[in-house]
Structure 1
Amino acid sequence: MIRLHHLNQSRSLRILWLLEELGEPYEITSHQRDANTYLAPASLKAVHPLGKSPVIEMDGQLYSESGAITELLIERFAPDRLRPAPDSTDYGHYLQWIDFAESSLMLPLMLELFTKKAGIHDNEFLNGYIDKEKTRLFKYLDAAVEGKSFIVGNQLSGADFMLSFDLMMLAKRKELANYPHIEHYALQLASLDSYQRAMRLEADYDETNRT
């Protein structure tokens, strides 16, 4: 049995969706962000030294980092269905997009979030970097998903699960309107049954929805 330590409004959403798509038995232990600091609670530090989510328990072992968990679960339960064959030309692109989601694309999004929460509005260097980098990355992704329902090989893969959290952030900030291909791609992912089930679970477990 897989146990997901799930933190509301976090990268754990990637793994929640993946588990719903895999259809393997799993359990959820819910953790809630601190209402004032928006940080993870102490209960997660009791699970893993970094105190972050997602973390899964499987075969008596703890695993962290959403990218690693995504690849691990797919290799174990759905290698033929949710990733390209390693000897295919798509495989390298698959790995590239998995890393892109948590490295290149995530950096300016998190910088923007942190600067706003810190009340930094007039730092010319930071604001200039964030705006320029976001525009460059969004144009790149928009071109990459033009005419596509999925990012690699016209089939659902781990790269789509990884990009999904980034797209949720962009949709929440209403930043997809100028990038129609990303918007279409995001809506296509959101239409999948497993995605919708995961979002209902997220809503059920997110206590901020009940305040």
Structure 2
Amino acid sequence: MSATLVVHHLRVSQSESIVWLCEELGLDYKLVCHDRDQQTLLAPDAYKELSPLRTAPVIEDVDTYTPNNDHIRLAESQACIEWICRKHGQGRLLNKPWDPNWKEWLFWWHFTHGSFQPACQMKMIAGALPKDNPSQKIIDSRIDHYLDLIEQRLSKSRFLVGDELTAADIQMIFPLTTQRSFIPFDLSPYPNTLRYLKEIGERPAYQKAFEKAETTLKPMLDANPKSLYSIA
């Protein structure tokens, strides 16, 4: 039986997290890769037409919970991750209200897209402003604060929530790694975060995801990797 789950991956984007998730769960899925426009660095029109958001990630699947097994197309990283974990992973990587670390998991599950990644995106936009613009200092200060929170958390546990990988980690890794190809920031002051990235990078599923999903991009797990793109 062919896979019903299709992952549309825009190269050098957060949809890498969805590919990694599928590998961690050992799923049968179809991967369709799309390349950025080399002039604009934006998604091609064919990718934008997949979703009203016009951004990555996008997945397609058969909704077996509907009477007619409707075909669905879904965007938004957290929505895609939750769909895949619940429908194909029997709830794996999603903590439950009765789990000991439920409160911590709920915070970190929402932290990446609610706080950390928006700040990183603001830094991308602010990169076009003069260096002495007050907005630059405000955004850098916010990112530094968020990195401090991540570092403190990882000083207490192997992953964001205890000693087992969860969906919160799947969300977190992109802004700490690949997103720095657009907005460089130094992780040298954060040894626990670097330990965390090293351990993630050694996971067979993470390595396999990059082998399948990327052609030239390598996991950007170092303290200060070279930027691939200019935001000036």
TM-score normalised over the length of structure 2: 0.81
182-191 or 45-54: which moved more? Answer: 45-54
Larger RCO (CA within 8 A; separation ≥ 6)? 1
2:180 & 2:47 partners in 1: Cα distance? Answer: 28
Question: Counterpart in 2 of 1:16?
Answer: 19
The one-letter amino acid of 1:13's match is: E
* 1:201 counterpart letter in structure 2: K
Letter in 2 for 1:125: P
Which of 26, 30, 45 is 1:27 aligned to? 30
Aligned to 1:114: 125
Higher helix share: 1
**Once the two structures are superposed, what CA deviation does each residue of 1:153-199 show, in whole Å capped at 9, x if it has no partner?**
31111001000101114765352111111111111111110001111
| Identity across matched positions, percent | 27
Deviation at 1:122, TM superposition (A): 3.1
Three-state SS of the structure 1 residue aligned to 2:101 is: helix
Task: Look up the match of 2:108.
Answer: 97
Q: State the match for 1:177 in structure 2.
A: 188
Distance in 1 between the 2:106 and 2:157 partners?
Answer: 18
Q: Deviations over 1:70-104 (max 9, x none)?
A: 11211223345422232224223222112111121
RMSD: 2.0
Q: Is the Cα contact below 8 Å between 1:98 and 1:159 reproduced in 2?
A: yes
For structure 1, the 5+ residue unaligned runs are: none
Displacement of 1:204: 2.9
- Is the Cα–Cα contact under 8 Å of residues 12 and 214 in structure 2 kept in the other structure? no
- Measured against aligned partners, the alpha-carbon deviations of 1:25-58 in whole angstroms (never above 9, x if no partner) come to 1111211111111111100133222221111001
| Segment drifting more, 154-163 vs 79-88 | 79-88
Matched residue SS, 1:105:
helix
Match of 2:134 among 125, 138, 155: 125
Greater shift, 170-179 or 157-166, is seen at: 170-179
Cα 1:146–1:170 change in 2 (3 A) is farther
Can you give the 5+ residue segments of structure 2 that lack an aligned partner in the other structure?
63-70, 218-227
Could you tell me how far apart the structure 1 residues matched to 2:29 and 2:75 are?
16
Greater mean alpha carbon deviation, residues 20-29 or residues 6-15: 20-29
User: Where does residue 72 of structure 2 map in the other structure?
Assistant: 61
Tell whether the 8 Å contact from 1:45 to 1:51 is kept in structure 2 after alignment: yes
Moved runs in structure 1, 4+ residues, more than 3 A?
169-172
Task: Tell me the amino acid that sits aligned with residue 63 of structure 1.
Answer: L
* Partner SS, residue 176 of structure 1: coil
Deviating more after overlay: 179-188 vs 142-151:
142-151
Alignment-derived partner of residue 135 in structure 1: 144
Letter aligned with residue 138 of structure 2: Y
Map residues 32-43 of structure 1 onto 2, 5 A cutoff.
32-43=35-46
| Counterpart check, 1:194 vs 2:205 | yes
Normalization by structure 1: what TM-score? 0.89
Give the Cα–Cα distance (whole angstroms) in 2 for the partners of residues 125 and 200 of structure 1.
Answer: 41
Q: Is 1:70 aligned to 2:70, yes or no?
A: no
> How far apart are residue 147 of structure 1 and its match?
4.4
Q: How many residues align?
A: 205
